Amino acid sequence: MRPSSAGEGQALPGQPARPAASGALAAAGAYWRAVSAVLWKDLAAEFRSRELLSAMLVFSLLVVLIFNFALQLDRVARENVAAGVLWVTAVFSGTLGLNRSLSQEKDRGSLDGLLLAPVDRSALYFGKMLGNWLFMLVVQAIILPVFSVLYNLPMLLPLNLVVVLLGTLGYAGVGTLLASMAVHSRSRDVMLPILLLPVAVPVLVAAVQASGGLLEQRAWDEISQWFSLLIGYDVIFIAVAFMAFDYVLEE
């Protein structure tokens, strides 16, 4: 019998396990191709219809304008609550987008097809989460300049943009998981905010405090803890969603 070579069986002492490494790389490549396919499907469907982004953008502009008119006579109050208004706008539009992103899949019957795909269920989660995050960022990219003009505040500070990135990532991360739970309920439009807002309180408080501290030009020592909370929240809850998404879909 011909002895097996190192490339066909176990690696020789001192040599790397090339087949195992190449298999791991191939599996990782297939996983992220599945993630990108789900993300691309959502982006292509949205840019073809523009229903979700249009609704989120119009809703956000209305909220910003209403608060601007309500606080127009009191300049000090407007500056004090600017960060809160910004994140109230993000929460309302983000919840609308999260609800519709999975409810459309459910109504069209395509959610079952996605679940039958021969890929890890977490790939579906990351694809949906990245799509929701990008939609929220597109809305924020339009809202922030408008907000700066109406409220006469420097909302486009580099660190404030980092706060927006981290805050929307945490909200989209936990929101995608909870939207997958609420989508099976008949009252999903009401169920998602009830489930999401209490869980998202830490990231919203951290985002408001960080944005408010930057607008008030506080010292870095006073606002660094809120950046740490944002990063910690994002890492923990996205990891929890990654592990629980398959179980949530099965239920």
Model pLDDT for residues 6-62, shown as the tens digit of each residue: 444 444 444 444 556 677 777 677 778 888 888 888 888 778 877 788 888 888 888
Residue 43: closest CA among 120, 138, 111, 109: 138
What is the total count of domains within the chain? 1
> By mean pLDDT, which of 68-77, 83-92, 202-211 is the weakest?
68-77
Question: Do residues 31 and 120 lie in contact, with contact meaning Cβ atoms separated by under 8 Å?
Answer: yes
One-letter amino acid for residue 1 of the chain: M
Please, what is the Cα angle at 127 between 122 and 133, to 5 degrees?
120
Does residue 13 lie within any of the structural domains?
no
Does residue 167 lie within any of the structural domains?
yes
The model's pTM: 0.84
How much is the mean pLDDT over the chain?
Answer: 81
Does residue 193 lie within any of the structural domains?
yes
Token pair for 200: 């998202």
Judged against a pLDDT cut of 50, whether residue 5 lies above it is answered with: no
Does residue 4 lie within any of the structural domains?
no
Residue 90: closest CA among 149, 50, 145, 144: 144
d(CA 182, CA 103): 9
Judged against a pLDDT cut of 70, whether residue 101 lies above it is answered with: yes
pLDDT at 80: 75
What are the pLDDT digits (tens) for 154-208? Answer: 888 899 999 999 999 999 999 988 888 887 777 777 888 888 999 999 999 999 9
Does residue 47 lie within any of the structural domains?
yes
Q: What average pLDDT does range 51-74 have in this prediction?
A: 82
Does residue 125 lie within any of the structural domains?
yes
Token pair for 21: 């490494």
Does residue 240 lie within any of the structural domains?
yes
Please, what is the Cα angle at 208 between 204 and 213, to 5 degrees?
150
Does residue 232 lie within any of the structural domains?
yes
Structural domain of 140:
20-250
